[in-house]
Amino acid sequence: MAKQAVKNSTESPAVLEQYYRDMVFLRHFEEKCNLAYRQGKVGGYMHTYIGMEALAVGWLESIKKGYDYVITAYRDHAHALLLGTDPVAVMAELMGRKDGTAGGKGGSMHLFDPERGFYGGWGIVGGHIPLGAGLAFASKYREEDRITLNFMGDGASNQGVVFETLNMAGLWDLPCIFIVENNEFAMGTRLEYHAADPELWKRGIPFDIKSERIDGMDVIQMKNDAQRIVDWVRENQKPYWVEVMTYRYAGHGAADQDRQLYRTKEEEASAWKRDPIKRLEAILLERKILTPETVEAIDAEIIEQVDKIYDAADASPHPDPSEVYDNIYTDMDVEKGH
């Protein structure tokens, strides 16, 4: 599949290298997040994107960044970073600091950057899906040609409100792409234990929504498929339902300490053979866009970059306790005191 994709790819060497750098950056950023979590710098719930990088890179390279809308659940670092949100602000938010994207009020699960079209960052599984359709509703209402990328996990695809939203998206022709990041697990529950029909791609069909399943582990293929779908939705101003097959190498969240409860080490080892970064790396080496030496140099450069991000974020102060009252409303304060 990888070889076929490379044959078909029209991307320039520079673009392919950029995809590679983006994916390596996400990988190292998330690994740093895991470290920060273990150090106690990050608290609460935190969910990394390790293993799923090709998916977000492919989709976000296919839209008009800053114009189109993007919304996702709590596994949201990659989406914000790829849209151009300051990585120091993202890391600082995870650390609950003043210079975080939300001044430490949101945390890992609630990143927002509306200036770049990013509307969160949501923690109730499936709860943000109608919000994403609402963003698409707004662009349709204003007769703009923005499209909305509305990401969810495979677990979310079972929520009632998702079906309600699909019905209205189909009924009203909302320009919204519903993207199921099928990483095979709803937290610790394997797909076949949570879905009556594990072929989640079929779920758009009853609502007259174009639906398909695609692979999300090959970034070139992912980009091509995403671009085709994005262009179709922009052109036709109708919704699309896509199941993207991927795999979460990490646990559900940083607090998920025992992956062996729901999958074997052998399964993980086998999944690592499909690592999207290694896959693109092989193509780049084969095409001599990169050499083993430049691969190493890129890796070292990005590790250093992420170290600097971490240090800058860690230098940000904690919020002042008085900030607890800020921004509940746009125009009034709440009563103070316990």
Partner 1 sequence: MPAATETTYREALQKSMFEEMDKNADIFLMGEDIGRYEGTFKVTKGFFPKYGTRRVVDTPITEAGFMGIATGAAMAGLRPIVEFMTMSFSILALDQIINHTAKIHYMSNGIVKCPIVIRGPGGAAKQLSAQHSHSLDGWYAHVPGLKVVAPATVQDVYGMLKTAIADDNPVVFYEHPRLYAMKGTLPDHEYSIPFGKAQILKEGKDISLVGYSLMSQINLAAAELLAKDGIDAEVVDIRSLLPLDTETIYRSVRKTHRAVVVYEDWKSGSFGSEIHSRISEDCFDDLDGPVGRVGGLNVPMPYSRVLELEAVTNEHHVVAAVRKLL
- Residues near partner 1 (CB under 8 A) are 69, 71, 101-103, 105-106, 110, 112-115, 119-124, 127-139, 141-142, 160-161, 164-165, 167-168, 171, 326-332, 334
Strands 210-215 and 240-245: parallel
* 8 Å CB contact between 70 and 117: yes
Asked whether the CA dihedral 290, 294, 300, 302 is positive or negative, the reply is negative
| Residue 42: both structure tokens together | 């990050």
If the CB atoms of residues 171 and 255 are measured against partner 1, the closer one turns out to be 171
Give least dist CB 91 to partner 1, A. 16
Give, to the nearest 10 degrees, the angle between helix 13-38 and helix 87-94: 20
Give least dist CB 176 to partner 1, A. 10
If the CB atoms of residues 32 and 128 are measured against partner 1, the closer one turns out to be 128
Give least dist CB 141 to partner 1, A. 6
- Find the angle CA(250)-CA(256)-CA(259) to the nearest 5 degrees: 65
Give least dist CB 90 to partner 1, A. 14
Give least dist CB 334 to partner 1, A. 6
If the CB atoms of residues 15 and 168 are measured against partner 1, the closer one turns out to be 168
Residue 199 CA, chain-centre distance (Å), reads: 21
CA distance 86 to 111: 11
Strands 189-190 and 148-153: unpaired
DSSP code of 66? T
If the CB atoms of residues 45 and 299 are measured against partner 1, the closer one turns out to be 45
Strands 240-245 and 69-72: unpaired
If the CB atoms of residues 165 and 246 are measured against partner 1, the closer one turns out to be 165
Give least dist CB 139 to partner 1, A. 7
Residue (of 321, 318, 327, 322) closest to 96 by Cα position: 318
If the CB atoms of residues 144 and 307 are measured against partner 1, the closer one turns out to be 144
